Amino acid sequence: MEYHVDARKVMRANALSVVGYHGGDPVTHDAFQRLLGPPYSWPLRKAYGRGGISTCAMVALGLMRRAGVDHADIQDGYADDIGSGLNVAKFWAQRITPNPAWKTPSRGRVPRIGDVIQVLGPMHVATVIGWETSHGGARLCVTVDGGQCHPRDGLQCIAVVRRPWVETPRSVRLGARIVDGWIDVAMLPYGDTATVPIGWEEEDT
């Protein structure tokens, strides 16, 4: 199995390139549809819970598809996996041998740039693009998140989010939610091609 040496860089560059996508914006609507994948007709002009959908897992899977992850169920889009969240990719990552790509949280173990993280309570999926320290000294995990609601119209959008990473004897949390685990993108198999934004080589990971 060959690993994509630039997987983290490609994931981060692609994630940053889609920040600001908004289902109600005619400038980014079509690009948002392409990121989410077939059938390219997702109800982005309807709010979640009002005929719309949550796009958090779909955005992360779309970024993996752009990076060229070599797995048919990721490459063919989400239409046949609606409601499964990240499970398609998670269960596959758990089965990769000899080194599974699904990582579970423990003290001192954290996701790296490009990794796709899932939290529970309720479930949410995001792509890690960096780490920061708050003015108060808290460790912040910086992610690009689909499934966000635009403040103007409540429609789906993609944004950068910063949340504290909190380790306790009983759990590891991202903000208020329990960390289920993450996909280590450097341990996934990749095809020969990837879709990258212009200038991606200049991204510093």
Domain ranges of the chain: 7-191
pTM of the model: 0.93
Average pLDDT value for residue range 58-85? 86
* pLDDT mean over 77-103: 87
pLDDT digits (tens, 9 = 90+) for 21-68: 999 999 999 999 999 999 999 999 999 989 999 999 999 999 999 999
| pLDDT of 5 higher than 90 | no
Amino acid code (one letter) for 113? I
Better pLDDT: 203 or 177: 177
DSSP 8-state assignment for residue 44? T
* Angle, CA 13 vertex, CA 11 and CA 15 arms, to 5°: 65
pLDDT of residue 2: 42
Each residue's pLDDT tens digit, 146-173: 999 999 999 999 999 999 999 999 999 9
- Spatial neighbors of 75 by CB under 8 A, at least 6 apart, are 65, 69
